[in-house]
Chains A and B, each alone.
Chain A
Amino acid sequence: MLNLFKKKKYVSVVESASETNEKTVFANTNQPSIPDGMWVKCPSCGKTIYKKEIGTFRICPECGGYFRLKAKCRVGFIADNDTFEEFNQDMTAKNPLNYPDYEDKIKKTQEKTGINDAVVTGKCKIGGIQSVLCVMDSGFIMGSMGSVVGEKITQAFEYATENNLPIVIFTTSGGARMQEGIIALMQMAKVSAAVYKHSEKGLLYVTVFTDPTTGGVTASFAMLGDIILSEPKALIGFAGRRVIEQTIKQKLPEEFQTAEFLLEHGFIDKIVPRENLKEVISKILEIHCGKGCEE
């Protein structure tokens, strides 16, 4: 799990050339207004793009590649205007292993990202239908799942179960958070059990894979959606590419573990371009809820 730490750096939108380093990766993808005169490098084709041209959906005009999105930016695309009410906004990790400098790392990441851990959860309307929405953020310690991610998503499921609501989760994660050790592993069981209770009540759960989703998140709630969607070209897998290459001692093909690969192998229902996601999710919600869910 979490093998993505060693993968190539994805450069998102950066403020200036001097800040083009690790620290500013993933930064600023959710700014609604983009100041003039800024250039960004596309993570897919590597071309330098005038920042304005990537547009609201953060898509490269040259190659169609996606920039990674901050959770709150994604919430803005999916939730109906002014309907999102966040849950557990202040929940913060402790340090179950007493791992050196973990608190410090959390604090710095919080300052850098403006969120308290790697998932934003809440309720909102999507296409007029009351839903629970969880969005993970790969900018926060690679979207890894420790106690906070596990607890917030579990509580989101419990809220949805109690209130008979559908739930939509956007996943992006390197897996379980190493710094929390076995307690992070236990989150996989905790969340999956909460998914089970929601499912038993006949309620809808839609997963949307985004780039990248691997490890303990793939191997728990991400793969448990009644309907599983994905953004195009998202990396989705259990083991990291490098670990597999080391284990089997051969190079893997380019398309291995992409959304398209998983679609072909029967593990996801549909690949949906970013700009169409809200429409498709709204339609799925409508089909499951009927008109009765609209308020």
Chain B
Amino acid sequence: MMSAFDIVKIARKISRPSALEYINYIFNDFIEFHGDRLFRDDKAIVGGIAFLGDIPCTVIGIQKGHTIEENIERNFGSPHPEGYRKALRLMKQAEKFNRPVISFINTAGAFCGIGAEERGQGEAIAKNLFEMSGMKIPLISIMIGEGGSGGALALAVSDKVWILENSIYSILSPEGFASILWKDSKRSEEAAEIMKITAQDLLELGVVDKIIDEADGGAQNNFEYTADIIKNELFNEILKLKEKNIEKLIEERYNRFRKFGEFSE
């Protein structure tokens, strides 16, 4: 049995398959689009249009690299506000042309820096949460590595949220959590155990709807195995979601998030 922190390590492996690898394998004719039309193109987020079988889709991904050079180009998969605004632009475009949006999420979190604050990181994330909740198209999000906090949630207010077996989704990194609550980032292993960040914990909490299998040791050991499962699951799910009355779909999406919270009165 792997510990939660073992899973954190797999989720962060530099060899872990990236969003673009899944997109290029699962979809046909992917055409990447750039820019938020407001400031610039954020390379930490990729997006465009493609076919899933014969279904036109919009696909979005938070992209990490496999090398230091790639990671510098991709800002280690930590988007700036313009990345979230690009994603929103592409989602709005998908809504106009009535095609589903599939998002592949892999980020330690939204970037923390001067430019990100100046350009409204908080506003960009908030706007995505707001707009996604009412979007009149099916939305599916898949956590393929790290699902770090608001930076991951900003692409995950979706009808279905799936997670790969060795991915995580959390309020903050275990290091950040330990640093804030115990003033000691070195207690990250202990934090990982307590935070309920593994696929199994998240499924039990209802935060994710499905766990996608990976090969032993992680998806990098047999990429096609995991990518084929995702492809099949997406195909089935999109057909189901497209059948639904759109008002009902939005109401169910609202209730999906409305249910979270533990309190007494």
Interfacial residues, chain A to chain B (CB-CB below 8 A)? 1-3, 5-6, 88, 90-99, 147-148, 150-151, 154, 176, 178-190, 192-197, 199-200, 214-216, 218-224, 237-239, 243-244, 247-248, 252, 256-257, 265-267
Contact = CB atoms under 8 A, between A and B. Distances in A.
Among A99, A150, A154, A218, max chain B CB count under 10 A is at A218
Contacts of B265: 88, 90-92
Interface centre among A94, A186, A187, A267 (most CB of B within 10 A): A186
Interface in B138-181: 149-150, 153-154, 156-157, 169-172, 176-177, 180-181
Contact of A193 (B129, B169, B202): B129
B175 to A, nearest CB: 11
Nearest to A218: B122
Nearest to B111: A247
Given A151-B263, A190-B258, A178 B133 contact: no
Interface of B: 110-114, 116-123, 125-127, 129-131, 133-134, 149-150, 153-154, 156-157, 169-172, 176-177, 180-181, 183, 194-197, 202, 205, 207, 253-254, 257-258, 260-265
5 contacts: A91-B264, A92-B264, A182-B205, A237-B122, A266-B120
B260 A1 contact: no
B150 A248 contact: no
A31 to B, nearest CB: 28
B103 to A, nearest CB: 14
Contacts of A5: 180
A6 B153 CA distance: 25
A222 B261 contact: no
Nearest to A244: B112
Contact of A186 (B126, B133, B257): B257
Nearest to B169: A182
Contacts of A194: 258
A175 B165 CA distance: 28
Contacts of A223: 120, 122-123, 126-127
Nearest to B126: A223
A221 B133 CA distance: 13
A257 to B, nearest CB: 6
Given A188-B150, A266-B120, 6 more contacts: A1-B150, A179-B181, A186-B257, A218-B126, A223-B120, A265-B120
Contacts of B149: 1, 176, 185, 216
A246 to B, nearest CB: 8
A239 B260 contact: no
A216 B125 CA distance: 9
Contact of B261 (A187, A219, A239): A187
Contact of B157 (A93, A193, A214): A193
B260 A186 contact: yes
Contact of A238 (B110, B169, B197): B110
A150 B260 CA distance: 9
Closest A-B pairs by Cβ, 5 of them: A218-B122, A239-B112, A147-B261, A193-B133, A192-B129
A248 B113 contact: yes
B121 A239 contact: yes
Nearest to A147: B261
B122 A238 contact: yes
Contacts of A178: 171-172, 177, 180-181
Given A193-B157, A223-B120, A238-B125, A93 B180 contact: no
